[in-house]
Amino acid sequence: METATSTMNFFSKSVSDSFSIFISLPEDYTKDKKYPSIYILDANLYFDIYSAILKKYSEVGLLSSAILIGIGYKDFSIMDSLRNRDYTYPAAIPEYEMTTSGKADKFLSFIYNELVPNIDTNYNIDKDKRILMGHSLGGYFTLYALQQQLFSGKNLFQGFIAASPSIHYNHYYILREFEKVKQYNGNKISLYTTFGGLENDESNKDSTTLKIDEALLSLRNSLKSKGNIAFNGEVYSNLEHMDTPLPTFVKGLQWTFR
């Protein structure tokens, strides 16, 4: 029987770097059943917390049993600089003062062509129920991965959950890219996106800064009537930027698996 929780060091040829991959199996894991797979970014921060939540919530029927795969780094101390590299595209404009950025295309190639095939080979995976979720820059990458999937026609992930995505990156580059989405003819895809109601107060406002409801409206307008794409955008009142990931990940999965 597989170990309930395990960690492996995974060298990516696409990124030319190693990642710490954390895997948590459900309590009812068996070879006779296939399970949804949930890929969570910033695993050094979120994996242990969400693994416990997923197990308890599945026990009482609030979430489906699933395999949780966390994508992280060697340790927490290097996470910030490397997530800037892996979660952003294109390279940051000078005002962001990021020493390394803009490599999300290589990171996405790692997930698509290296990590997911490895997980699919070694575990009982329901290939019609793969979810990607992230927060902040991880949420930005989640949107980027969806945008790339819509343009490529690939259907690796069926659900995308983005908590407080950093949509302001490079002057709303990702929102402009979603505006280019044409008709999507693939299998059903869903996007669940949230912001905290207090995030408008946290941002430095000028005439070019979008409010969170404007950002959600932009996404909704870009995706509506474009094919088999379900969108749900919510604002959690009285929550700040760092408060949104855990409720978003829970509610997002409940909505995705509804």
CA dihedral 159, 161, 167, 170 (to 10 degrees): -60
Q: In the prediction, which pLDDT does 186 show?
A: 86
Residue 3 in this model has a pLDDT that exceeds 70 = no
Q: In the prediction, which pLDDT does 185 show?
A: 85
Between 255 and 186, where is the model more confident? 255
Q: In the prediction, which pLDDT does 80 show?
A: 84
What integer is the mean pLDDT of 198-214?
74
Read off the pLDDT of residues 45-65 as tens digits, 9 standing for 90 and up. 999 999 999 999 999 999 999
Model confidence band, residue 207 (pLDDT cutoffs 50, 70, 90): very low
Share of the chain above pLDDT 90, in %: 81
Read off the pLDDT of residues 208-227 as tens digits, 9 standing for 90 and up. 578 899 999 999 999 998 88
Q: In the prediction, which pLDDT does 200 show?
A: 85
What integer is the mean pLDDT of 150-155?
88
Q: How many CB atoms lie within 10 A of CB 126?
A: 15
- Minimum mean pLDDT range among 87-91, 107-111, 183-187, 200-204: 200-204
- Bridge partners of 130, per DSSP, are 37
Read off the pLDDT of residues 65-82 as tens digits, 9 standing for 90 and up. 999 999 999 988 888 889
Model confidence band, residue 251 (pLDDT cutoffs 50, 70, 90): very high
CB-based contact 189:159 (threshold 8 Å): yes
In the numeric block, the tokens 């995976």 are attached to 125
Domains for the chain: give ranges and CATH numbers.
Answer: 5-256 (3.40.50.1820)
Which two three-digit tokens encode residue 253?
A: 């999965």
What integer is the mean pLDDT of 120-141?
98
Which two three-digit tokens encode residue 187?
A: 């299998």
Going by C-alpha positions, the residue among 148, 130, 152, 150 that lies closest to residue 140 is 148
The rounded mean pLDDT for the chain is 93
Model confidence band, residue 142 (pLDDT cutoffs 50, 70, 90): very high
Q: In the prediction, which pLDDT does 96 show?
A: 80
Q: In the prediction, which pLDDT does 1 show?
A: 44
Distance CA 232, CA 252 (A): 9
Which two three-digit tokens encode residue 241?
A: 């930027």
Share of the chain above pLDDT 70, in %: 96
